[in-house]
Amino acid sequence: MSEQAGAALAGLDADFNPALDRILEEHDVVDRLKTLPIWLIAFGIQAAILVALALISMGDKNKDKLAINSQMEENESLDMDDLDDDSLDIADFDIDVEETPETVETPAMNFANVETAPDLSLSDAYEVEQTEIVQPVQTIPMAGALEGRLIGKGQLLKSGGGNEASERAVKAALKWIADHQLPDGSWSFQNAGADGGRMEANNAATAMAILPFLGAGNTPSKGEYKAVVARGIEFLLTNGTRSGNGYDLRDLGKDERSDSGRMYSHGLAAIALCEATAMGADEHDKRYQALRGTAQQAVAFIQYAQDPTMGGWRYVPQEQPGDTSVTGWQVMALKSGSMGGLSVDPMVMKKAINFLANQVATDGGARYGYQDSHGSDATTAIGLLCRLYLDWDPKNPNILRGADYLLQKGPNFKNAYYVYYATQVLHHIGGERWKEWNSQVRDKLINSQVQSGEDAGSWSPSEDSYRGEAGRLYVTSLFCMTLEVYYRHMPLYAQTQYGDAETEDFPLD
């Protein structure tokens, strides 16, 4: 025993008993209480009862709060689980798909006779962690963004810089595309005239074929090619996979790990369904109900597939950091869904802005890379178009600087993908920049279109960067849509002419 401990014990009485002392102290307290006035004792008892009741009540509230939080967790929505101009990934289907989410197939939807497909409930309960989230500016109300295809088409063609020759080229291209529709309503990159591609991706091919018809004002119920469009739409409505994550239109092939399973196919097919929905039909028509419900589920799958960290999209849902090429198609599909009045999660679009602004932008947002700041002219055009639709107006200095870069580079007709995106960017900006670009693109496409033989109306893919993968159908569809630019989407610079700029088309709050 230490000296300090011994000294401390020596100072205590020999008969020290802590337990006994506590008992005596308690008796002493009782004796003192006996001497207190009765009213004071009663007051103390009442106060103690009130305190006890308050504690019980607080406990019940905390218990209810825990129950609510638990219920919210149980009802939580579904988990959101280098490129150069010579090798853009629109045709890069030769990278292995690592893994796809489990899906549960349900009976296919028949476009001719089906009940409305159920809409999915989508969650916005996740946070964006990155820094530069920019709120979008208001542009033209999107409900009218496609009206130029159906109303005032001739005026828009003339005022935008098109002419009779460009419109004849569009009509010839549509005829060639229609002539190559397969008996089941689909199209194939492999079997579309001479110079077919190697890619086996009929959802993607069908979507690329349908989009020029929609761009020219044809729907499943209106236009010269309404029967062609209806059969193509029906193919898409019956050749996806329905699951708890939405309607999956990826071309997975016989093997779910097939190298043709890509989000490219889904994005393209979703655009086709959403544009057909936006262009309207009789809402009491069961066919239109089927179209609208399936388009909503295709939007849901895009939202599910987004990279939860940075906000882009790539080949495998949720599992890969995004790239600008795949992201561009998904953003356009979501915007098309918005045009059609479908439900789109605002947080998904905020995260897409985050990907563009923080992951792939360079030069202040005037240029864009592929998976980082290194990319191509095509990825710059894609990034600029996405920013125009998401958060920047056509007079933004970064947009204008990017447009000047595209003008300096000029159109590269060996890359239909780049010409397609860059033409849209310059058209939305308008003015002298658009006149300079349009004069080069319009006349070159008119003069290079095949004029005779079985491929009349198409464009040869012989010099295109992706001819080996997607072939003649791919190039013809993109060049046809490029010549439809005058009326395919209402120009964003004309917002004050075509609508109330204060109407929210895609609120992100």
Considering only the top CATH level, what class is 82-498? mainly alpha
Contacts of 404 by beta carbon, 8 Å cutoff, 6+ apart = 433
Burial class of residue 256 in the structure, from the number of CB atoms within 10 Å of its CB (0-12 exposed, 13-18 middle, 19+ buried): middle
Comparing CA positions, the residue from 410, 431, 432, 414 lying closest to residue 422 is: 410
Distance between CA atoms of 150 and 488, rounded to whole angstroms?
A: 9
Average pLDDT, consecutive stretches of 10 residues, N- to C-terminus, the chain (509 residues): 39 37 42 49 60 54 40 36 39 34 36 34 30 39 63 86 97 98 95 78 96 95 95 96 95 58 92 92 74 96 97 93 96 93 95 97 96 94 97 95 97 96 96 96 97 95 78 95 92 47 35
Mapping DSSP to helix (H, G, I), strand (E, B) and coil, where does residue 119 land? coil
CA–CA dist 117, 120 (Å, integer): 9
**CB-based burial of residue 218 (10 Å sphere; 0-12 exposed, 13-18 middle, 19+ buried)?**
buried
Domain-by-domain residue ranges, the chain?
A: 82-498
Q: What per-residue confidence (pLDDT) applies to 463? A: 81
Longest dimension (CA), the chain: 123
Cα dihedral 317/318/323/327 (nearest 10): 70
- Close Cβ partners of 230 (under 8 Å, ≥ 6 residues apart): 111, 220, 221
State the distance between the two ends of the chain, measured CA to CA, in whole angstroms: 72
pLDDT of residue 289: 85
Residue indicated by tokens 């008796």? 27
> What is the C-alpha to C-alpha distance for residues 209 and 213, in angstroms, rounded to an integer?
7
The H or E element containing residue 158 is helix 153-160
Which pLDDT score, from 0 to 100, does residue 493 have?
61
Q: How many helices (H) and strands (E) does the chain have?
A: 18, 4
CB 374 within 8 A of CB 324: no
Instruction: Pick the closest to residue 379 from 366, 392, 391 (CA basis).
Output: 366
* Closest alpha carbon to 264 in 308, 311, 207: 207
The whole-angstrom separation of Cα 223 and Cα 442 is 24
User: Which residues have C-beta within 8 Å of that of residue 225, sequence separation ≥ 6?
Assistant: 174, 178, 213, 218
C-alpha to C-alpha distance for 246 and 303, rounded to whole angstroms: 9
The answer to whether 343 and 124 are in contact (CB under 8 A) is no
Query: What's the confidence (pLDDT) of residue 239?
Result: 95
How much is the pLDDT for 19? 39
Question: Contact, 90 vs 325, CB < 8 A?
Answer: yes
pLDDT attached to residue 35:
46
* pTM of the predicted model as reported, rounded to 2 decimal places: 0.72
